[in-house]
Chain A
Amino acid sequence: MPEARMAWNGAAFDGLAQVRELPVQGMISLRGDLASAPVQNAATEVTGAAMPGPRGVEGAGDSAIAWMSPDELLILLPHGTVQDALARMDAVLAGEHALALDMSDARAVFEVEGPAAREVLAKLCPVDLDPAVFGPGEMRRTRAAQIAVAFWQSGPHAFRLICFRSVAGYLFDLLKGAAHPAARVGVFDPSA
């Protein structure tokens, strides 16, 4: 089997926050009626995660369900389990109008970690990153400067961002610039 290569070679930068590209993440795009039992079951059975509400993400680590739009979920799975999961989902979704596709290769994943991670993101994304507003379980589809991204909180001071694979280098350069060690804004409570 050929190796799944990261889009930006696992690049990393240590500044206001630690920025690094993560290995290829298993991802399935699931479109369907999110209120229907088969769609919900297809998502929850393969991930073991609960069904998220609007702008939410449920699960942990490599297995999670993220709400993408009123009729779309993003299923996160360990890389290598996607084909098997798709087959299981197809069985659950038999007869249901839905669309489930492997999107693992379409995206790159970055982690931004550190007490200043919030402000690194707030330099690029028009999102309210106040800890009281954006905490664990929140998912945002937004933009980072000129490209589409989505992110969620993955740890106490850690966020995961996804973008399209072709612009992984642009996102890395953006994050690197925003995380310049001398560019601290210092407005978020670092203990949050």
Chain B
Amino acid sequence: MSTRLDHGGRLIDRDRPVTFRFNGKKMPGFAGDTVASALLANDRVMVGRSFKYHRPRGIVAAGPEEPNALLNMGRGPRFEPNQRATTTELFDGLEAESQNHWPSLEYDVGAINQLASRLLPAGFYYKTFIHPRPAWKHVFEPVIRNSAGLGKAPKDGDADRYEHFYWFTDILIVGGGIAGLQAALTAATSGLRVTLIEQTAHWGGRAPVDGAEIDGEWADEWVQGAVQALETMPNVTLRTRLMGAGVYDHGYVLGYERVSDHSPADDQPRHRLWKIRARQVITATGAIERPLSFPGNDLPGVMLASAVRDYAVNFAVSPGQRTVVVTNNDDAYLTALALVDVGQTVPAIVDARPAGGGELAQEVANHGVEVHLGAAIAGVTGRSRVEGVKITAQTGTGTDPTEIACDCVAMSGGWSPVVHLWSHCGGKLTWNAPLAMFQPDPERPPTGADGQGFVTAAGVAAGVPIERAGEGLSNFQTLRSATEAAQSVCVRLGRSVGDAAMPAVREVETAPLAPVWIMPDGADIRLREKMWLDFQNDVKVSDVQLAAQEGFESVEHTKRYTTLGMATDQGKLSNINGLAVLSKALDAEIPQVGTTTFRPPYTPISMAAIAGEARGKTFQPLRRTPMHDWHAANGAHWEPVGHWRRPYCYLHGSETPEQAVAREVRNTRANLGLLDASTLGKIVVKGPDACRFVDMLYTNKMSTLKPGRCRYGLMCSENGFLSDDGVVARIDAQTFLCHTTSGGADRIHAWMEDWLQCEWWDWQVYTANLTEQYAQIAVVGPNARKVLEKLGGSLDVSREALPFMGWAAGRLAGFDARAYRISFSGELSYEISVPAATGAEFWDLLIEAGEEFGAMPYGTEALHVMRAEKGFIMIGDETDGTVIPQDLGLDWAISKKKDDYLGKRAQERSHMTDPERWKLVGLETMDGSVLPDGAYAVGAGTNANGQRNMVGRVTSTYHSPTLDKGIAMGLVLHGSDRMGEVLEFPGTDGKTTRARIVDPVFYDPAGEKQNA
């Protein structure tokens, strides 16, 4: 019987009762409880089933190392699976459900797997499901997926908010136990910025539970004093419920704050991810107790000894009325004392050490508790919870056991320092043989940019220096280590600290631990098959031994073959025991076998915390032009272009997008079209070397351009591939304005700066990205000049004053404007730029003034159709990073006179001059239909793979409303020499489209319209 005691409970508030539900059943608890302590108080020992065999599973631990008590928590938009009961604070109305069972926790069909456990050994999946191959996808995987797995996936969107927080500190101390507090007290005297974070809601760690005495008072009182002292120091920041999740390069630490998991209704963000830059990190992360591997150690009711006293002291919960303690060290005697203190029965202590323990053991014996020395547990009786244990000799094979009735077993196999944060960024470990644990090697810390260590372990997390191993993990050792760690860190940061006050500690004399990895020592296979290492993933001693026998000698291989330590607890309880068993099976020393890699996060953190603000409206920045609101109010059908939203077309009434595009094209060609071209990149290039610079950037000779004139130009990468295009306007002798594609503005600006800063650093050129300074509107069509002339102003847009490919500045209806007479449609066209803050007003004016001329806005698709009708290429359609300008028939835009330009030498390589390169042509379908985008043309014969040879592909394809037929561009083998030939394009739908090779300029080849 697991019950709430009448008195005590360090962390609970009996004046604040709360109610929660577990598997639908209402249960009482107190504020300050964890879900685990409240379940135990209600005699819920069994809380789930294991992953593979569906064995009953009970609460084992009281902290983040818990492997079993994983619950579905909350409901609807606050539902979350796999939440640890031991680290979830109880609140009124909490709802939790157990996982991995069907139909119910008590009667689970999958539990039949445990009857077949002999048939499900390590590597079972790999061995069994190889053949027949198709069965994996259709039979094995669906069945396994159904039966495996823990929590359910949430179905609703998350109702909570999450955020990030950037924090900078000189010294970050992770862990708010007595070591962390002592380190903070010491470091704070340096005046440096100190941040102390603790993953739970409480300061002090284990010491108060373990009854430590510091400076003559109970550790709990010392802790309160320390916290109060630290709170008054302006250079110290204290934070609870904030876990150090990961340590990364350059002192970067991720902290995971559970802001309102315990108070979900208070509207605070749920989690906050702290992105911390620390100059030095101290890990005071404590240690985790190890289980013992005896037969039946997975039965609900078998718990860590430290957890049993945590529940008794912190929550006034006794997990059993008769608790047998089994141990290989002195520490578990504290549990016996704690239980005796609260009036519970300890029928026996099973100590594997022939000589037993020290001072604590004596104290326990004085209470009349029976102690079995050199003893082991040979089995646990009970089906879904402990009913008794069988006691035998540790050195034997487990025969002739004595049975003792009990309902709880408290086990201690020694302690493992929490070395995770130390290890994340490369800190190395050393094996402390006397204490049987891996601990940080202070000689090999994680190093920063200066080659010096930036992480220092403190307290129990540091282990014990080998020369002092005889002192064990004492409180004195803990505080001394913390003090020294803080002092050395301050010195490393150039501050001296005075002699820190080392508190006085009452020490207890202890006897050495005996490494015990299997209990009893000579257990046969039937017993070893019942010794669990990994409770969540069902890995047993026999599985690891089998892996070793089958040749999996590396600890990393064994981990993956057996799944040891691969569960959501990441082997916090199982790793060391598992590798000790492996080393024994391999007849190697433990340090030779080594550990698996410790990777962040320390315990799972929520995906939403990682996303932070990046969801909903702020998932990604959305870039808007000055006229965005007008577009939205006038039927814009949006298209994403980079982070911009541009109207693809404007829908009138019940139009389809296709109908709208056709209308916009026809109207622009017949009357007047307006395009928001503000997204086009606009980069100013200025300086005495500006001519030289643009001549290198562009394939053509830009330096000969006269002020007041514009020229189309191409930019290539140094490998010769076409990268961007646009119109360049010469502003004055030393200044050019380079237009880029919408998506290319930032990239091309960075490209320019790259060359100027890294290669041509002595050239006198400055660039500036003016893209956002101007709203730009293309005024296109036969009536373009009329509407601009109607606006009036100093800007003369007449044919004589502003011929094709000229530009001019002046005023249009009171707006500061520049007009570029350039055309991407083949029509008479002006691109007008005005300051962005006046762009919306100017657009309104044009719409209004243009009404009598048939003005209609058009979107990006009409722009694409019209440029295709003119045979103009589009970066990203005709180019894909493998296309050079020569492929596109753009030889006219490549200067033969220049010594060099970016890409020139590359374009002279043999593959680039190969006449077999596919060349741009126009394609006209024989039946007027539209060619599928990206379709390939097939030729005669087959290739080495038996596929039909391909001789070309479609790069752009549209229905031309102007010509009322399908037009396309494509790259075709010997394309320009094959005018009039008909190609076959098999589609993915089985139909073949036939198209004739034609000139890519379908519309107004003489250019009479644009020159009008």
Contact = CB atoms under 8 A, between A and B. Distances in A.
Contacts of B165: 119, 122-123, 185
Nearest to A170: B621
Contact of A107 (B163, B772, B841, B842): B772
Contact of A31 (B623, B766, B814, B842): B766
Interface string A109-126: 000000000010011111
B241 interface: no
Specify which of B165, B612, B620, B773 lies most central, judged by the most chain A CB atoms within 10 Å of its CB. B773
Interface string B766-777: 111011111000
Nearest to B678: A166
Interface stretch (B36-44, B95-103, B830-838): B830-838
Given A29-B768, A166-B644, A173-B617, A127 B166 contact: yes
Contacts of B809: none
Interface in B121-164: 161, 163-164
Contacts of A84: none
Given A5-B841, A180-B161, A189-B234, A173 B166 contact: no
A103 B771 CA distance: 10
Contacts of B161: 177, 180, 183
Contacts of A31: 766, 768
A70 to B, nearest CB: 10
A104 B773 CA distance: 7
Contact of B774 (A105, A123, A189): A105
Interface residues of A, number: 52
Interface string B812-838: 001100000000000000000011111
Interface in A1-33: 1-7, 24, 29, 31-32
B618 A174 contact: yes
B167 A177 contact: no
A75 to B, nearest CB: 13
Contacts of A97: 687-688, 764, 766
B837 A24 contact: yes
B622 interface: yes
A30 to B, nearest CB: 10
Name B's interface SS. mixed
Interface in A96-153: 97-99, 101-107, 119, 122-130, 133, 145-147
A124 to B, nearest CB: 7
A145 B836 CA distance: 24
A128 B167 CA distance: 7
A78 interface: no
A173 B193 contact: no
Contacts of A165: 626, 772, 836-837
A145 B618 contact: yes
A178 interface: yes
B684 interface: yes
Interface stretch (B223-231, B262-270, B563-571, B958-966): B262-270
B163 A123 contact: yes
A164 B771 CA distance: 10
B976 interface: no
B613 interface: yes
Interface string B862-873: 000000000000
B765 to A, nearest CB: 9
A35 interface: no
Contacts of B767: 99
B835 A4 contact: yes
Given A101-B770, A166-B624, A106 B618 contact: no
A63 B5 CA distance: 71
Contacts of B917: none
Nearest to B168: A128
A94 interface: no
B166 A122 contact: yes
B614 interface: yes
A99 B686 contact: yes
Contact of A105 (B167, B193, B835): B835
B163 A170 contact: no
Contacts of B164: 123-124
Given A105-B835, A170-B622, A182-B267, A126 B275 contact: yes
B207 interface: no
B625 interface: yes
Contact of B766 (A99, A126, A166): A99
A92 interface: no
B237 interface: yes
A56 interface: no
B982 interface: no
Interface in B460-519: none
A167 interface: yes
Interface in A145-191: 145-147, 164-167, 169-170, 173-174, 177-178, 180, 182-183, 185, 187, 189
Contacts of A182: 266-269
Contacts of A24: 837
A168 B612 CA distance: 20
Contacts of B644: 166
A170 to B, nearest CB: 4
A103 B166 contact: no
Given A97-B688, A146-B620, A173-B618, A106 B836 contact: yes
A5 B838 CA distance: 6
B623 A166 contact: yes
Nearest to A31: B766
A103 B769 CA distance: 10
B268 A183 contact: yes
A185 B768 contact: no
A31 B164 CA distance: 35
B167 A187 contact: yes
A169 B628 CA distance: 12
Contacts of B906: none
A33 to B, nearest CB: 10
Given A165-B626, A165-B836, A126 B166 contact: yes
A128 B166 CA distance: 8
Interface in B195-210: none
B620 A101 contact: no
A123 B836 contact: no
Contacts of A123: 163-166, 613
A106 B625 CA distance: 11
B768 A170 contact: no
B684 A99 contact: yes
Contacts of A189: 234
B491 to A, nearest CB: 22
B614 A145 contact: yes
A164 B267 contact: no
Interface in B595-652: 612-614, 617-618, 620-626, 643-644
Given A128-B168, A166-B772, A1 B814 contact: yes
A125 B621 contact: no
Given A24-B837, A178-B163, A187-B237, A145 B613 contact: yes
A183 B193 CA distance: 24
Given A3-B838, A174-B613, A177-B618, A125 B166 contact: yes
Contacts of B267: 182
Given A104-B835, A105-B836, 14 more contacts: A2-B814, A2-B834, A4-B835, A4-B837, A5-B841, A24-B837, A105-B773, A106-B773, A126-B166, A128-B277, A145-B614, A167-B622, A174-B618, A185-B272
21 contacts: A5-B626, A5-B841, A24-B837, A31-B768, A97-B688, A99-B686, A99-B766, A101-B768, A105-B835, A105-B837, A123-B165, A130-B193, A145-B621, A164-B623, A166-B625, A170-B621, A173-B618, A177-B613, A183-B161, A183-B163, A185-B272
Interface of A: 1-7, 24, 29, 31-32, 71, 97-99, 101-107, 119, 122-130, 133, 145-147, 164-167, 169-170, 173-174, 177-178, 180, 182-183, 185, 187, 189
Q: A-B pairs with the 9 shortest C-beta distances?
A: A4-B837, A166-B623, A105-B836, A128-B168, A99-B766, A106-B772, A182-B267, A106-B773, A2-B838
